[in-house]
């Protein structure tokens, strides 16, 4: 019997074994079997697990907030970009959080980093260690929604880390005169004592202000202060601190190590004698707060303070911190950590990595009184640290020179809120080690004496003004822990930032200059900001290629004025007509699209509108254009006009618009709804002959450039563009909205629905949904009429997309829907993004990057991982018993490398120098056209196949499913490991890559065997094609 062609072959049937099928009946499985099955697929920790993961010498990133590019883009898209964003108000350094998240969502990672570093020179450090739940995240408006607040710290970490890999240095404010032309006040000698967050911040802002004789003195051999010595590697790697200090040094700031503040060394008076006119003290609180019951105890007996223990761990685990090749403290058995702050939990999690079997975190008060942020406590809990509240230390028991236990008494809170110790309730815990984390103090008499002549307050800290950070001596400022105000790294950074401005005011006042009472600290700058993105088109000079389309964002000229103030290079007026053609709009008329699924809020992939042209008169627009051109002579203003097919009307209106001072005209021949019924817009733009004639009429009437706005609602848009070109147009706008019906409700009524009758009409679809149509139109016109200016519009929502349109042949770019999703401030992101994209093309070391996206490392949960297949020669998924095996293999590897020498130097330069000319905008226009052609030009011999990175795979099976039901049944799916395997049947269709949720988990690689298409049946003769 002949095989049925419409049935799958047996080998395909085997592949389809796990393919989804419509459910026909309820499934039956015992609870016992379900519990056993669950263990196989479980990805999170089993709460009943009695054994702990071995963490010895494992200093890999453990932060919950860490994001891969995929995670960052999804999280940034979720952000509402709120007005007067409360998250920013909750940030000590006043980061413009809305703006940097906007840049991330647009894949402008340089723009995001620039925004972050402009307000916080330690933006990467703070992205990693900030207690965001108590700061910015605590103010997120999405707390009021069920999906919860934005992971702001993770986004900040991601953007600044990508920027650090770009190898771009910081530079002085380009607006400043050269150093030799600066007033002598900017050559004032300034000393900063302590190279921690407060000093780094203060020095960076002073350097940005133009001061060029700044020295930071550090008592240690290493730099970074507590960020280096007391925050563990798994939360804050040393290379992060090093990167930010190098950024500071880019401004000419000097760092001198092994120079400490002490009465027998460097003092405030000795600095003054050496010519330093201003001193900033940022030494932290260098001594531990040590309870009297621990007096006399030593490390040999098993006792550490946090200031003993954490620096030892840091020196042994932070590559590059020092060249001492220290080994980790060797712990065993049970460790008791005393304290309830962030430092206590850092000690607890670090103790596990030093060999401790069990760690108890013991504190005097209850869980509701813990000072540590929830993130810190949760990390310790996940690593199986135990928490013991309501216990106050009473006595340490030492036998044979070793700590063996500790005695506590129970604490209770009285009605008055005071905490009292109950001597009747005594608890004794066995312990091998005790680590105290009771905070820090300034107790060294030599340090205090060295700070003479400043005054101290009753807490033993310098007296200072909390607004100016100025001490009792006007020339001495302080910030960070030593100032007694900051409790976190980010607050220390802000202390330094605050002090920098008032140091500037102090110095300038000494030289007789008044400083603006409103602080104006310079932003972060780099060579990227110097890239020229101006462009010329039709004799017009555009400061940048981004402008406003003739659309709702230009409803009034007051709106255009605000847009110009924000930095938009050009704008088109809302289309206006002669008074005899005035319109009145219906409502509702602009609605969210359905093309992106059920997304509510910003990030709409499309809008549909049935809005007509402007309701305002031509006289209003002409007078306003005159006003705007007087105030913004360097911005391009284009009047968008519309008439019916009438020579007299087009002549009158175009002359009126030219007389108003408009730089150019746009002839709207494309409005897809309403106006066509009046013989205008689409009614004119779909006929090449009418377009040609209208362009000829306008060409005869005016001398300024004009552009015909084309409709995509035609068979061949190139024919219309050719007609405009033949009619004398200086260019075209491609394209207007696509005619569509956005959606119908369950009862059949449309949306938008007008009036009680709920009537609607076909409207114009705009936004990202029409981008492929617009790109095709732009590229097709550019190929057909080389050099013909094109104003592109249709789904331009980022610099990355703008670059695509430029490469497709556009000269300048019009934006509408993106502003409807957000606001006019987008222009800053677009400009920095385009500058970065152009600049990075000149860096040879970044040739593997895709725009601002670096190559994707092998990762799970956003964190870079070792490939288990490289260690043991096989791939293991990350769930159930396989996850346990992965952890065991990793633990053994980490343990075996415990005594390996830490690399202290890297041969990779921190900054990269452009080896090629940085392309101008004009250089990239039409660059992609050489790759676009007819189907017959494509090579059928060079085929590709899918390659899956099993270490990055999250085992979802999406590739398997799409290949089965939409492709070529070329992917097997293991029933036990859920690892997909590509077979020789792969035809390279790329559907699997298209639906894979993990960036670069699937790549298309060159096929190494001949591609023989499956024809279904043997061919009797050679095929025709």
The string of pLDDT tens digits covering residues 29-48 is 999 999 999 999 999 877 76
Please enumerate in sequence order all residues whose Cβ is within 8 A of that of 991, keeping only pairs 6 or more positions apart, or say none: 962, 963, 966, 967
760-785 pLDDT, tens digit per residue, is: 999 999 999 999 999 999 999 999 99
Which segment of 172-176, 241-245, 317-321, 524-528 scores lowest on mean pLDDT? Answer: 317-321
Cβ-contact 342, 439 below 8 angstroms: no
Q: Is residue 662 very low, low, confident or very high in pLDDT (cuts 50, 70, 90)? A: very high
124-156 burial, b for 16+ CB within 10 Å, e for fewer? Answer: bbbbbbbbbbebbbebbebeeeeeebbbbbbbb
- The two most distant CA atoms of the chain are separated, in Å, by 109
* Per-state percent for the chain, helix, strand, coil, to nearest 5: 35, 15, 45
Q: Is the pLDDT of residue 1025 over 90?
A: no
> Tokens in use for 33?
């079997």
Mode of pairing for the β-strands spanning 391-399 and 402-413: antiparallel
Per DSSP (E only), the strands in 245-371 are 254-256, 278-281, 287-288, 303-305, 334-338, 358-362
Per DSSP (E only), the strands in 284-418 are 287-288, 303-305, 334-338, 358-362, 386-388, 391-399, 402-413
Catalytic residues: 671
According to DSSP, the residues that pair with 607 across neighbouring strands are: 592, 766
Angle between helices 489-510 and 197-209 (to 10 degrees): 40
Q: For residue 508, is the peptide bond before it cis, meaning its omega torsion is within 30 degrees of 0?
A: no
What's the pLDDT score for residue 48? 66
What's the pLDDT score for residue 906? 53
Cβ-contact 328, 304 below 8 angstroms: no
Measured at the alpha carbon of residue 632, what is the angle toward residues 630 and 633, in degrees to the nearest 5? 75
Q: Is the pLDDT of residue 732 over 50?
A: yes
Q: Residue 693, SS3?
A: helix
CA atoms of 981 and 657, how far apart (whole Å): 65
> Tokens in use for 188?
């004032």
What's the pLDDT score for residue 134? 92
The residue written with tokens 């999804």 in the block is 74
Rg, C-alpha atoms of the chain: 34
Measured at the alpha carbon of residue 669, what is the angle toward residues 666 and 670, in degrees to the nearest 5? 110
593-647 pLDDT, tens digit per residue, is: 999 889 898 889 999 999 999 999 999 999 999 999 999 999 999 999 999 999 9
161-219 pLDDT, tens digit per residue, is: 999 999 999 999 999 999 999 999 999 999 999 999 999 999 999 999 999 999 999 99
CA atoms of 722 and 692, how far apart (whole Å): 8
CA atoms of 242 and 228, how far apart (whole Å): 9
CA atoms of 984 and 997, how far apart (whole Å): 23
CA atoms of 628 and 560, how far apart (whole Å): 8
Number of CB atoms found within 10 A of residue 445's CB: 9
CA atoms of 914 and 890, how far apart (whole Å): 39
Q: For residue 306, is the peptide bond before it cis, meaning its omega torsion is within 30 degrees of 0?
A: no
Q: Is the pLDDT of residue 461 over 90?
A: yes
Mean pLDDT in the chain? 94
CA atoms of 842 and 833, how far apart (whole Å): 15
Tell the burial category of 198 from Cβ atoms under 10 Å away from its Cβ (0-12, 13-18, 19+).
buried
Mean pLDDT of 963-986: 96
Cβ-contact 547, 814 below 8 angstroms: yes
Q: Which of 985, 988, 909, 910 is nearest to 945 (CA)?
A: 988
Cβ-contact 607, 767 below 8 angstroms: yes
Cβ-contact 305, 334 below 8 angstroms: no
Q: Is the pLDDT of residue 904 over 50?
A: no
DSSP, residue by residue, 526-586: -GGGG----EEETTEEESSSEEE-SSGGGSSHHHHHHHHHHT--EEEPPPB--GGG-----
242-261 burial, b for 16+ CB within 10 Å, e for fewer? Answer: bbbbbbbbbbebebeeebbb
CA atoms of 828 and 696, how far apart (whole Å): 38
Q: Is residue 287 very low, low, confident or very high in pLDDT (cuts 50, 70, 90)? A: very high
> Tokens in use for 228?
């280096």
Q: What is the DSSP letter of 680?
A: B
Nearest 10 degrees: Cα torsion 531, 533, 536, 540: -110
CA atoms of 335 and 652, how far apart (whole Å): 89
Q: Residue 393, SS3?
A: strand
CA atoms of 37 and 942, how far apart (whole Å): 45
Mean pLDDT of 299-308: 97
For the entire predicted model, the pTM comes to: 0.96
Q: Is the pLDDT of residue 1015 over 70?
A: yes
Size of the chain, expressed as the number of residues it contains: 1025
| Backbone φ and ψ of 948, nearest 5° | -100, 130
Cβ-contact 805, 768 below 8 angstroms: no
Cβ-contact 857, 864 below 8 angstroms: yes
| pLDDT above 90: percentage of residues in the chain | 87
683-729 pLDDT, tens digit per residue, is: 999 999 999 999 999 999 999 999 999 999 999 999 999 999 999 99
Mean pLDDT of 410-427: 92
Mean pLDDT of 120-138: 96
Number of CB atoms found within 10 A of residue 633's CB: 10
Q: Is the pLDDT of residue 1022 over 80?
A: no
**H or E element: which one contains 694?**
helix 688-701
Number of CB atoms found within 10 A of residue 452's CB: 12
Mean pLDDT of 902-907: 51
Cβ-contact 625, 557 below 8 angstroms: yes
Q: Is the pLDDT of residue 582 over 50?
A: yes
Q: Is residue 901 very low, low, confident or very high in pLDDT (cuts 50, 70, 90)? A: very low
Mean pLDDT of 141-156: 96
> Tokens in use for 741?
């019906």
């Amino acid at each position: 019997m002949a095989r049925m062609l419409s049935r799958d072959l047996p080998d395909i049937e085997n592949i389809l074994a796990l393919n989804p099928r419509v459910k026909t009946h309820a499934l039956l499985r015992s609870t016992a079997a379900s519990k056993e099955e669950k263990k196989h697929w479980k990805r999170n920790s089993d709460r009943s697990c009695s054994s702990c993961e071995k963490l010895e010498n494992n200093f890999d990133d453990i932060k919950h907030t860490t994001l891969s590019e995929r995670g960052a883009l999804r999280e940034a898209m979720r952000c509402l970009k709120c007005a007067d964003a409360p998250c920013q108000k909750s940030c000590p350094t006043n980061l413009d959080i809305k703006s940097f998240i906007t840049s991330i969502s647009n894949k402008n990672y340089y723009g995001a980093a620039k925004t972050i570093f402009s307000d916080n020179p330690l933006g990467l450090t703070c992205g990693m260690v900030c207690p965001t739940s108590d700061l910015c995240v605590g103010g997120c408006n999405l707390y009021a929604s069920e999906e919860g607040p934005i992971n702001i710290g993770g986004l900040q970490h991601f953007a600044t880390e990508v920027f650090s890999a770009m190898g771009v240095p910081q530079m002085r404010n380009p607006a400043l005169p050269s150093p030799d032309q600066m007033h002598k006040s900017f050559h004032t000698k300034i000393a900063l004592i302590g190279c921690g967050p407060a000093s780094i911040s203060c020095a960076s802002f002073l350097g940005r202000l133009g001061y060029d004789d700044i020295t930071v003195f550090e008592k240690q051999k290493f730099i970074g202060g507590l960020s280096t010595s007391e925050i563990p590697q798994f939360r804050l790697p040393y290379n992060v601190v090093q990167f930010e200090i190098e950024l500071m040094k880019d401004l000419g700031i000097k760092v001198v190590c092994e120079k400490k503040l002490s009465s027998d060394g460097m003092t405030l008076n000795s600095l003054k004698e050496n010519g330093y006119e201003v001193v900033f003290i940022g030494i932290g609180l260098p001594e531990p707060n040590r309870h009297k019951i621990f007096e006399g105890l030593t490390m040999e007996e098993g006792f550490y303070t946090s200031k003993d223990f954490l620096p030892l761990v840091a020196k042994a685990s932070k590559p590059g911190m020092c060249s001492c090749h220290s080994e980790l403290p060797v712990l065993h058995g049970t460790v008791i950590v005393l304290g309830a702050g962030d430092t206590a939990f850092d000690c607890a999690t670090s103790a596990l990595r030093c060999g401790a079997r069990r760690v108890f975190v013991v504190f005097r008060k209850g869980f509701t009184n813990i000072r540590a942020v929830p993130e810190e406590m949760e990390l310790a809990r996940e690593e199986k640290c135990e928490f013991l509240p309501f216990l106050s230390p009473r006595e340490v028991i030492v036998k044979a020179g070793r700590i063996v236990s500790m005695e506590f008494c129970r604490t209770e809170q009285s009605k008055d809120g005071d905490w009292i110790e109950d001597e009747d309730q005594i608890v004794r815990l066995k312990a091998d080690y005790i680590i105290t984390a009771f905070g820090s103090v300034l107790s060294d008499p030599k340090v205090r004496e060295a700070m003479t002549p400043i005054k101290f307050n009753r807490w033993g800290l310098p007296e200072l003004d909390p607004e100016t950070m100025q001490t009792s001596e006007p020339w001495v400022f302080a910030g960070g822990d030593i100032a007694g105000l900051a409790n976190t790294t980010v607050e220390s950074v802000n202390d330094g930032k605050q002090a920098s401005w008032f140091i500037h005011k102090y110095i300038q006042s000494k030289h007789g200059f008044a400083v603006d009472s409103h602080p104006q600290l310079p932003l972060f700058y780099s060579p990227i900001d110097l890239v020229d993105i101006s462009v010329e088109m039709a004799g017009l000079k555009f400061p940048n290629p981004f402008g406003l389309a003739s659309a709702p964002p230009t409803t009034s000229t007051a709106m255009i004025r605000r847009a110009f103030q924000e930095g938009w290079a050009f704008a088109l007026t809302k289309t206006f007509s002669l008074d005899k053609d005035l319109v009145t709009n219906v409502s509702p008329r602009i609605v969210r699209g359905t093309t992106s699924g059920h997304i509510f809020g910003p990030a709409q992939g499309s809008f549909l509108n049935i809005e007509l042209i402007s309701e305002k008169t031509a006289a209003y627009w002409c007078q306003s254009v005159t006003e705007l051109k007087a105030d913004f002579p360097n911005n391009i203003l284009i009047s968008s006009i519309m008439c019916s097919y009438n020579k007299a009307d087009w002549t009158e209106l175009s002359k009126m618009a030219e007389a108003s001072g408009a730089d150019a005209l746009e002839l709207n021949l494309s409005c897809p709804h309403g106006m066509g019924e009046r013989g205008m817009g689409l009614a004119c733009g779909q006929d090449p002959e009418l377009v040609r004639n209208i362009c000829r009429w306008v060409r005869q009437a005016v001398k300024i450039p004009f552009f015909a706005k084309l409709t995509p609602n035609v068979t061949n848009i190139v024919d219309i563009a050719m007609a405009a070109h033949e009619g004398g147009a200086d260019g075209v706008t491609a394209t207007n909205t696509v005619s569509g019906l956005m959606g119908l409700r369950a009862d059949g009524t449309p949306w938008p629905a007008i009036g009680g009758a709920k009537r609607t009409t076909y409207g114009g679809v705009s936004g990202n949904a029409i981008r492929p149509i617009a790109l095709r139109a732009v590229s097709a016109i550019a190929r057909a009429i080389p050099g013909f200016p094109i104003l592109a519009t249709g789904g331009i929502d980022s610099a990355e997309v703008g670059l695509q349109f430029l490469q497709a042949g556009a000269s300048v770019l019009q934006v509408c829907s993106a502003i409807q999703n957000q606001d006019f401030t987008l222009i800053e992101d677009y400009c920095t993004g385009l500058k970065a994209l152009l600049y990075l093309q000149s860096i040879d070391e970044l040739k593997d990057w895709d725009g601002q996206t670096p190559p994707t490392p092998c990762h799970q949960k956003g964190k870079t991982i070792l490939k288990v297949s490289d260690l043991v020669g096989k791939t293991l998924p990350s769930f159930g018993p396989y996850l346990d095996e992965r952890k065991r293999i990793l633990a053994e590897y980490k343990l075996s490398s415990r005594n390996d020498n830490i690399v202290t130097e890297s041969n990779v330069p921190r900054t990269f120098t452009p080896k090629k000319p940085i392309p101008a905008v004009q250089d990239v226009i039409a660059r992609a056209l050489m790759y676009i052609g007819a189907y017959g030009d494509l090579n059928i011999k060079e085929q590709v196949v899918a390659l899956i990175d099993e270490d990055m795979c999250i085992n979802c099976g999406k590739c398997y499913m799409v290949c089965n039901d939409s492709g070529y049944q070329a992917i097997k799916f293991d029933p036990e490991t859920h690892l997909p395997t590509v077979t020789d049947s792969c035809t390279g269709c790329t559907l699997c890559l298209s639906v894979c949720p993990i960036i670069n988990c699937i790549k298309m690689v060159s096929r190494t065997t001949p591609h023989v298409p499956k024809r279904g049946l043997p061919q009797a003769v050679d095929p025709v094609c």
